Amino acid sequence: MSVVSALSLQLLACGGGGDLQGAPDASAPADLKSADEVAAVVVVAGSLPGLTSADTGGTATTSGGSTLLASAKTLNASRQAASAAKAAQPKGTSTSACNGGGSASFTTDDSTLYAKDGVTTANQCVDILRNNANQEMARSTLNGRLAEKCIDNAQTSSNCASYQGSVGQGSTPFSVAYKEAGAGGEDSSSSGLFSYRSSSTANGSSETLLGTLSVVDNRVQQTASLLFDQLSQQSSLSAGVESLRVDGGLGFASNTRRCFSGKLRLQTLAPITLDSNGNSTSGRLAVTDGSNARYEVEFLSAGAISVNYQGQLTTYTASQLASFCQ
């Protein structure tokens, strides 16, 4: 599944259905009107963990990541692999052709010891995914600038545990357009203009985001956008149990005005624990909307949640959340 399509399933699902209207403003204060809208916050936030994972592999079209940054980082990794180490090529810039046309360049950051940080610039870089018979299955077209800098005080030439970076530059976002081969193939795109800080340890990782991310499904003319306001995500692993924390400002908007829209704040009251299948088993999250109304979400076993909306409890199963708003 493509990066764009995976995110579309989460974000456009909460925007799907209903008549198309002008897109609301993700930065406007959210006004949550029902338990369903509070649950929708969980669905949207659930698409975020792993947004800035530094160890993305594969190609842009085959990445298992759920966001545009996964595509961005796979492109970064492929440019880095083609570039010589700093020690052999200081202040080096390498440019290479992409397998379906266009090009991408990588310029090393020689202000750090780490050899693999720097700036990647994609210029109509087309990445074609083919099957074993060499038939085209899908293609992604990437454009824009990515920058990543190692800020780890203990960095070496080959290891870095903390980064700061940016997706897009100035007012120009980094974009990925995705198209499946054959009639009826998916035609979608995403674009981002945001900065991030990320770090990892042997037992977990964290990232903080500031900026915007948008997704477009061109087949049905649906759009969804996210606004990050110092949104932090932390994951940890202890005694075989994975836990998550999500805190900060999150805005959401869709051109169908389905589910919640606008900006709100998230606060993890108790870490959200996950089982081996990635389903939540416990945890509590507070959601505060634009009018300072606060609602609590409790994470139950098997991926279910319970929403306390104005004193009334509503429970949603994992299967209900998986198809929420559709």
Residue 81 has pLDDT above 90, yes or no: no
Q: Is 132 in contact with 87 (CB distance < 8 Å)?
A: no
Name the pTM for this structure. 0.82
Q: How far apart, in whole angstroms, are the C-alpha atoms of residue 324 and residue 1?
A: 20
Domain of 131, in residue numbers: 3-322
Q: Is 207 in contact with 233 (CB distance < 8 Å)?
A: yes
Q: How confident is the model at residue 258 (pLDDT cuts 50, 70, 90)?
A: low
Helices 3-11, 68-82: axis angle to 10 degrees equals 160
Q: How confident is the model at residue 231 (pLDDT cuts 50, 70, 90)?
A: very high
Closest by CA to 167, choosing from 223, 104, 112, 121, is 121
Higher pLDDT pick, 80 / 145: 145
The string of pLDDT tens digits covering residues 125-160 is: 998 989 999 999 988 899 999 999 999 999 998 899
Residue 78 has pLDDT above 90, yes or no: no
pLDDT of residue 283: 95
Number of domains within the chain:
1
Place of tokens 């074609």: 128
pLDDT of residue 9: 46
The string of pLDDT tens digits covering residues 61-71 is: 323 233 465 56
The string of pLDDT tens digits covering residues 31-49 is: 999 998 999 888 888 766 4
Q: Is 245 in contact with 267 (CB distance < 8 Å)?
A: no
